Amino acid sequence: MGKKKKKETCPPLALWLVTFSDLMTLLLTFFVLLLTMASMDNAILTTVTLTTADLGLLDKRGSGRVNVKDRMVVELMEKPWEVLDKADRIKDLLFPDDTLPDEMDKSTLYENLDVLARQNGVALVFTSDILFEPGGSRLSDNGRFLIGRLVPMMTQTEAPINVAGHTARAEVVEDMYELSGDRALAVLSYLVELGVPNKRFTLSAYGDHFPVVDELGRPVEDSPKNRRVEILLKTARPIGGYQ
């Protein structure tokens, strides 16, 4: 009978190579795992952000979700220093063409709405012509529509809101302060009625003391834009967050 062949053993050098190969495989696997986890974290963060936003957009009556555009408006308004370049973008997101009433065209809206940067946030400035009847302080149907369109965006931030009323000297009324205050209060009350917490609001009435200014900073006393309501979202977050 032939002798059984002995199993060949790996020489010491080959055993070292096997160990090194296993180590490199483990390191490569660990590296791939880290990349996978990093990608997964991004996906999870994105999902969590969107889900949280969606939950915040649910109406109290559960009527559905608000367009993602409203969240984009907040993101733009949280950078007041960029508003000069993004004003038209904000207007387009807040008031898409397909949402405007039949009797309101976009050019009229743009003539009566300004988006201005302030030191502590961003102001949406509506002339009273587009919100109220001439000389009045009761929101018109168009005024209610325009102010109502701001509510979904306002639910996406906890920023304090100041509503300020202004009048023009050309308006013949007994008390400019009262009229400017009544207009601001009409806007504020409607926003609260639609679900924006009243604790976030302050109200200001300036009468005709702060007319709009031209490009050189000079007051324009006879401008129709003096009759206006400014809705200031204080999105320039103070140190420590909103109180």
| pLDDT tens track for 59-108 | 333 334 556 777 788 888 888 788 878 889 999 999 988 888 888 889 99
Q: 91 with 200, same domain?
A: yes
Q: 96 with 202, same domain?
A: yes
Q: 21 with 86, same domain?
A: no
* Euclidean distance between CA atoms 124 and 115, whole angstroms: 5
Which of the two residues, 112 and 215, has the higher pLDDT score?
112
The domain of 138 spans 68-233
Q: Is residue 240 part of a domain?
A: no
Q: 26 with 81, same domain?
A: no
Q: 103 with 168, same domain?
A: yes
Which of the two residues, 31 and 87, has the higher pLDDT score?
87
Given a cut of 70, whether residue 161 has pLDDT beyond it is yes
Q: 124 with 31, same domain?
A: no
Q: Is residue 6 part of a domain?
A: no
**CATH code of the domain containing 78:** 3.30.1330.60
Q: Is residue 5 part of a domain?
A: no
Q: 88 with 189, same domain?
A: yes
Mean pLDDT of the residues in the chain: 78
* Euclidean distance between CA atoms 92 and 75, whole angstroms: 14
Q: 103 with 160, same domain?
A: yes
DSSP codes joined into one string, 142-203: HHHHHHHTTHHHHTT----EEEEEE--TTS--S-HHHHHHHHHHHHHHHHHHTT--GGGEEE
Please tell me the total count of domains within the chain: 2
Residue ending a domain, choose from 49, 65, 81:
65
Q: 83 with 106, same domain?
A: yes
Q: 142 with 166, same domain?
A: yes
Residue ending a domain, choose from 22, 37, 65:
65
Given a cut of 80, whether residue 34 has pLDDT beyond it is no
Q: What is the pTM of this model?
A: 0.69
**Mean pLDDT, range 189-206, rounded to an integer:** 96
pLDDT at 44: 37
Q: 84 with 58, same domain?
A: no
Which of the two residues, 122 and 218, has the higher pLDDT score?
122
pLDDT bracket for residue 54 (50, 70, 90): very low
Element spanning 94, H or E: helix 83-94
pLDDT at 57: 34
Q: Which of 34-38, 130-134, 135-139, 150-154 has the highest mean pLDDT?
A: 150-154
Least confident of 1-15, 111-125, 174-188: 1-15
pLDDT at 191: 97
pLDDT at 86: 87
Q: 73 with 61, same domain?
A: no
pLDDT at 6: 56
pLDDT at 199: 95
* Euclidean distance between CA atoms 161 and 154, whole angstroms: 9
Which of the two residues, 41 and 183, has the higher pLDDT score?
183
Residue ending a domain, choose from 65, 82, 109:
65
